Amino acid sequence: MPEKGVLLVNLGTPRTPESGDVGHFLAEFLSDPRVVDLPRWFWLPLLRLVIIPLRKGRTATAYKKIWMEGGSPLLVYSEALAAGLEQQLGKHVKVVLAMRYGDPDIESGMQTMCRAGVEELIVLPLYPQYSATTTASVFDAVTVALKELDWRPEIHCVKQYHDRPGWVHAIASSVRDFRAQHGKAEKLLFSMHGIPRRMVDAGDPYEQQCGQAVAALVEALGMKEDSLLTYQSRVGREPWLQPYTDKVIEELAKAGVKHIQVISPGFAVDCLETLEEIAIRYRDLFIAAGGRKLEYIPALNNSDTHINLLTSIVKQQLDA
């Protein structure tokens, strides 16, 4: 019976790329007050009556472009990553994958850990940088599950891991390996997921951590002059963190840059935002604006490098 466990948590995914399942997923995701902090009386009717009906079809079409035989790429890669991590840690450490939104959910993952007799639990959200919109939301759900289960294991929560040398080494190595196979582009964009500007102004450390992470990567790669930090995936009309990835891509093409490469180091595994937004839509945008080639550098996914990185994080927590 394992005494130690790792709850590996990613954002989540719809069950299928059909509009009904996509709408259900979007409703759960966008109902989280950590994600959208507008007044509930205003936001929830708007979400259900306007936003979900407008977005679910378009989002379902995007998912269908990247859907894999085993399901959503985020789920497929996360499952493989969890299996590899459990194999590395050995039979005395149980690893369970959970999603903050959708299935398998955090509550069922915690129930599995409780039934297995886990006494020391590590909660490891697959977000290298901390944000209240992502990491804190995971910790909220874990706290609720602990209370409902009336379960009191010793618990360790990994808030961020971009500042660990192993993460910097893993991302930098993936860039070097990609460029060894495909050649060097004129510019490399580090495209991080955006959040509303006001959340950072209110104290969220996400922007600062993104800057620190990219600065460490640029130093490791020795390419300060050829790289840019940008932010993708904004929604709505209010200002988000800038510069915006799509705007920068368009400006580079119009300025005469013909070849760029993009990596999204804030994503542990590939998903809609990387495989459809960047590798398809932003590539088309770059070419339409006069560029010639946009190459997306894949996430770490279930690579041995990624499994070794997470193994080292877990072992450090267990030894702490």
**How far, in Å, CA of 289 to CA of 281, rounded?**
12
pLDDT value for 225: 79
Mean pLDDT calculated for residue range 246-270: 98
pLDDT tens per residue, range 216-256: 999 999 987 799 999 999 998 899 999 999 999 999 999 99
Q: How high is the mean pLDDT of the chain?
A: 96
3-class DSSP state of 281:
helix
Please report, as a single letter, which amino acid is at residue 11.
L
Apex 267 CA angle, 280 and 189, nearest 5: 60
Helical H segments across the chain, by residue range: 19-31, 40-46, 52-66, 73-89, 106-115, 135-149, 165-182, 197-201, 206-221, 245-254, 272, 283-288, 304-319
> 294 has which bridge partners?
260
Q: Considering the chain, what percentage of its residues have pLDDT values greater than 90? A: 95
Work out the angle at residue 138's Cα, subtended by the Cα atoms of residues 265 and 307, and round it to the nearest 5 degrees: 45
Q: What is the CATH number of domain 165-297?
A: 3.40.50.1400
pLDDT tens sequence across 183-207: 999 999 999 999 999 999 999 999 9
Can you give the pLDDT at residue 91?
86
Q: What is the dihedral of CA 54, 59, 64, 68, to 10 degrees?
A: -150
**Can you give the pLDDT at residue 236?**
86
